[in-house]
Structure 1
Amino acid sequence: MNAHVTTGPVVAAERMSDDPAVPTLSQLLAQRAQDCGDREFLRFGDGSWSFAEIDAWTSRLAHRLIEVDDVRPGDRVAIMLPNVVHWPVAWLAVLKAGAVAVPVNCAYQRSDLAFVLKDSGARVIFTDDVRSGLVAEVLAEERDLAGVRVVDVPDDGSERFPVAAPQVPVAAETLANLQYTSGTTGFPKACMLSHGYWVRLGWICAGATGLGADDVLLTSQPFSYMDPQWNTALALTLGAPLVVLPRFSASTFMADVRRHRATFFYVLGSMPTLLYKQPPAAEDRENDLRIVLCSGIPVALHAQLEERWGAPWREVYGMTESGIDLVSSFDDAAAVGSGSLGRLVPTKQVRIEDPVEPGEEVPPGEPGELVISGRPMMGGYWNRPEATANVLRDGWLHTGDLVVRRPDGGIQLVGRLKDMVRRGGENVACAEVEAVLERDERIVAAAVVAVPDEVLGEEVKAFVQLREGVPGDRATAQELLERAGAQLARFKVPRYVEFVTDLPRTPSERVSKPALKARAAAEPGTTHDFARPRS
């Protein structure tokens, strides 16, 4: 078990704050093609491509974009593909052409796709035969999109072009992505991410993990989201292979980890819980895992996750807007089950500000908004100057996350500024209540929301997904609330409990509370009301 041996870290921890030697993704790929061109870079299913092969392919495709599609530096090119090798190839080719990639979620339908194409001003879109009909409909119906060209894959028309990269000036500050966030309400906003953002993100993650060229990275999230993209930047930094699964499947994920001899992966949201719910197997620890990064490790399961698969799981915090901000050390055993998000990476600074008095820091142990500056950082929201000014103030990113500084120096998440229940004169952080509920081994996941109350203004309601075999009756609900009441102030304990078979989630695995509320309104379930004396 865990017998994989590496040659040592590519980026020493003390060098995380250094500027990466290579400033752009395009140059980083070229460097890898030169110094380890025959090494495996990308693995999709049974297909494998070396750094040299991907470098040549992306150069040919960049020429095609310039010479056939008239793509010029700064033009936007959309990518609407599933997890196939053509996704990172299209991305890196777009960047070599000096253009800007616009990742598009494959789950988007007509209005979503039309919005992103018009908002970004995309001139070209990569897609496949599964989505080509939808793309054609949108382009035909939207007059503003009449000139958008379509590149169908797998035949991308690049074969006849030269393998030398086009001579297009690209620098660290050159815009690389319009990365649309997966917001749960309204249309998404596009974060402007530069080449330097991606290169530095790969560099810092290499330093934080201590990974080396002999490691094997694995990802299963949709490539249109951040995670496979920063995994690609990490693979380029290390000169190590990245294995990309078609999708996340809890029942087959760890078998794929063993089969591909992966030493590293990143999971978030419900993924750790879903993995742990799979029946234990004798071969669980027969893997090559060295390191797992995770966002949202269930506190009650943290030690059990490590014990079951025999590798350290550590929390990492970041946003599309800021890349990576906090990470728990793999040498810090005290982080296991602590709920800490970790400590600052050396290129970032942090303040914990009073939500009522912006600019004023709160004392240690008091909740406040996490405010971050440093690099990497987005350049702002595309076409959204007011939204940019609202979150980026004097170089400081206002995250909207409520945190407390722990006595050990770590930072712990307690909720979202906008994810609160205002019960009478008291504020209840939904995330705090959810964390307490999820410590109960009978609960898979919980989502806490505000519901109207004519006396108190709002009351606390918990939607609870139970483990298989646990009865979803009033007696269970009462037991869960009694246990939560031993850990929470009385006003924070939910009045209402509704058991659900699942919780609707965004593609980035966050619970979509607007979708949850809409579903509950359209298809009401049994709500157990535990009214208590007004206080």
Structure 2
Amino acid sequence: MSIPELIRQAATRFADRPFLKFQDRTLTFADLDHHTDRLAGALAAQGVRPGDRVAIMLDNVPEWPLSWLAVLKAGAITVPVNVRYRSADLAHILTDSGATLAVTSPEYAPLLHEQGVPTLTETSGPVPHPTVRPWDLANFQYTSGTTGFPKACMLTHDYWATTARTMAEFLEPRDDDVMMVAQPFSYMDPQWMTLTCLVAGIPVAVLPRFSASGFWASAREHGATLTYVLGTMPLLLFKQPPHELDRASRMRLVLCSAIPPRLHAALEERWGAPWRELYGSTETGLDLLVRPEATGTVGTGAMGLPPPGKEVEVLAEPGETGEIVVRGHPMMRGYWNHPQATATAFEGGWYHTGDLGFRDEHGYIHHAGRTKDMVRRGGENISCAEVENVLAEHPAVLNVALVPIPDELFGELPKAFVQLRPGHEPGRQTALDIVAHARRRLAKFKIPAFVEFVSGFSLTPSARIEKRHLLQPARDQRAGAVAVEGEPA
């Protein structure tokens, strides 16, 4: 089924029920259908045709999901853009995707215009009725892969619809359920959560941003019963001072990717709700989940079992660690403009996640590290090659390598090893100058937290830096490095 069909079906079934709940505005299922028709008409009036790519660069406002779904009604393809992107990362996304138009706000419009991409100015037009099939592309969802710059995962209408139906069946929605979203809509999670609620006929309450201090107050305010968190969010929530109303919300299930095993039981005890693991990726959607009744998994790090239609294996003997691979349905069609990367990712008919894992005696898969050339900073994936490319533009930099180093709060932080050009001194001011350059070109979360100067690098036969030599396990990676986290630009 296509997403426009899901919208019209939901508008008929659930009509005047509240659906999208924002701070100052609530839209019903019928409102959704009406407003997305109007926006689809505006897009068509400004020249958008089936197959065109339309970027969306907005904060968590009603116009984000409305624009996304309107683009799909127009038969076009959505390119979600992180609002924290600046010239370098924005240029890559817009150029690679071939976006012909953008939907944005006055705050971000100048950035898009600098890249030569016009913004939506029409407000209405005749409603287009293109033929939209389940296998047509819906999103170019950019993700940091194993190497190189972020690549666009080509996601179909069926990918989204299948994910939404699978999650709706897993959640067993109730009439009084409310899903709460705290992540930016440009990410995968608010999108699948919204479509899950569309299928289930329940409201989705969208927060402007994640706030550790305000998260549970928002849950109480909205009467939220379901939510999803990831990355540093659990630890940041747990570090908040205990509150007398911690157990006063209606929350009945918290889904989370990478629940800290040592805190799992304490998280459940403090907020009075089960926390259950969910594992997947942009490329493959939902791959593993732990059912609410599986109390024996609490604190074990188990990531669960595959949903119907998916197979997940570990390329190793039972009990041994190996790469986690996935096949089945749904799955991305491939990486846009990267046929070789697509072929490599699907070698042998399985999608190679780059994650390492092992299977326990109960059949559950556990995470055990990664093989990817990237940094996982909280909930953000950072392409090492992308940051290295920007750092290398600085006139003082001869060569550079970005690597992840362990961090208690964020899981990993990016550290840059820098070889300087002759005539430049390896001091704190040089490190600050290099990082200041990066801040002007990249989103804040991609900026190195530490800089270490080196006289040279060990290279592979193909003249690539051997990063494994930079991260000796016994070494304190902060010792000898310049800490630049939080320094002014």
TM interval, shorter chain, is: 0.7 to 0.9
Going from structure 1 to structure 2, the CA distance change for 1:521 and 1:407 (only over 3 Å counts) comes to farther
SS at match of 2:300: coil
Q: Which position in structure 1 is the counterpart of 2:119?
A: 150
Deviations 1:213-235 (A, max 9, x none): 43100111110010110011111
SS at match of 2:38: helix
The residue identity in structure 2 corresponding to 1:256 is S
- The unaligned stretches of length 5 or more in structure 2 are 375-402, 418-438, 455-475, 482-489
Residue 171 of structure 1: CA displacement?
1.2
Q: Which position in structure 2 is the counterpart of 1:378?
A: 332
The residue identity in structure 2 corresponding to 1:74 is G
Cα distance in 2 between the residues matched to 1:409 and 1:376: 22
2:366 to 412, 417, 439: 412
Query: Does 2:82 correspond to 1:82?
Result: no
Deviations 1:393-442 (A, max 9, x none): 3541000111101111100011112479xxxxxxxxx99x96xxx9xxxx
RMSD: 2.9
Cα distance in 1 between the residues matched to 2:249 and 2:262: 23
Going from structure 1 to structure 2, the CA distance change for 1:172 and 1:337 (only over 3 Å counts) comes to same
Correspondence 1:484-523 to 2 at 5 A? 515-516=448-449, 518-519=450-451
Residue 281 of structure 1: CA displacement?
0.6
Going from structure 1 to structure 2, the CA distance change for 1:273 and 1:72 (only over 3 Å counts) comes to same
- Does the CA-based 8 Å contact 1:25-1:199 persist in structure 2? yes
Q: Which position in structure 1 is the counterpart of 2:50?
A: 73
Correspondence 1:2-41 to 2 at 5 A? 23-41=1-19
Q: Which position in structure 2 is the counterpart of 1:197?
A: 159
User: TM-score w.r.t. structure 2 length?
Assistant: 0.78
Residue 508 of structure 1: CA displacement?
12
Residue 61 of structure 1: CA displacement?
1.2
Query: Does 2:234 correspond to 1:272?
Result: yes
Going from structure 1 to structure 2, the CA distance change for 1:138 and 1:419 (only over 3 Å counts) comes to closer
Query: Does 2:98 correspond to 1:121?
Result: yes
SS at match of 1:73: coil
- Does the CA-based 8 Å contact 1:182-1:508 persist in structure 2? no
Correspondence 1:326-475 to 2 at 5 A? 326-353=288-315, 362-418=316-372, 444=409, 446-447=411-412
SS at match of 1:151: coil
1:49 to 24, 27, 32: 27
Cα distance in 2 between the residues matched to 1:187 and 1:526: 26
Going from structure 1 to structure 2, the CA distance change for 1:255 and 1:73 (only over 3 Å counts) comes to same
The residue identity in structure 2 corresponding to 1:58 is T
Q: Which position in structure 2 is the counterpart of 1:136?
A: 113
- Does the CA-based 8 Å contact 2:356-2:369 persist in structure 1? yes
Q: Which position in structure 2 is the counterpart of 1:467?
A: none
Cα distance in 2 between the residues matched to 1:278 and 1:179: 33
Corresponding residue pairs, total: 409
Query: Does 2:247 correspond to 1:295?
Result: no
Cα distance in 2 between the residues matched to 1:508 and 1:221: 16
Correspondence 1:125-274 to 2 at 5 A? 125-139=102-116, 148-151=117-120, 157-158=123-124, 161=125, 166-182=128-144, 186-274=148-236
Cα distance in 2 between the residues matched to 1:70 and 1:451: 44
SS at match of 2:100: strand
Cα distance in 2 between the residues matched to 1:332 and 1:217: 21
Cα distance in 2 between the residues matched to 1:449 and 1:168: 45
- Does the CA-based 8 Å contact 1:403-1:413 persist in structure 2? yes
Going from structure 1 to structure 2, the CA distance change for 1:111 and 1:184 (only over 3 Å counts) comes to farther
User: TM-score w.r.t. structure 1 length?
Assistant: 0.72
The residue identity in structure 2 corresponding to 1:301 is L
Going from structure 1 to structure 2, the CA distance change for 1:304 and 1:508 (only over 3 Å counts) comes to farther
Deviates more, 1:165-174 or 1:265-274: 165-174
Q: Which position in structure 2 is the counterpart of 1:61?
A: 39
2:77 to 74, 97, 100: 100
- Does the CA-based 8 Å contact 1:208-1:327 persist in structure 2? no
Going from structure 1 to structure 2, the CA distance change for 1:368 and 1:37 (only over 3 Å counts) comes to same
- Does the CA-based 8 Å contact 1:225-1:508 persist in structure 2? no
Residue 347 of structure 1: CA displacement?
1.2
Going from structure 1 to structure 2, the CA distance change for 1:528 and 1:70 (only over 3 Å counts) comes to closer
- The unaligned stretches of length 5 or more in structure 1 are 1-22, 140-147, 354-361, 421-429, 453-503, 530-535
Residue 274 of structure 1: CA displacement?
0.2
Residue 123 of structure 1: CA displacement?
1.1
Going from structure 1 to structure 2, the CA distance change for 1:451 and 1:414 (only over 3 Å counts) comes to farther
Cα distance in 1 between the residues matched to 2:229 and 2:40: 32
Going from structure 1 to structure 2, the CA distance change for 1:390 and 1:286 (only over 3 Å counts) comes to same
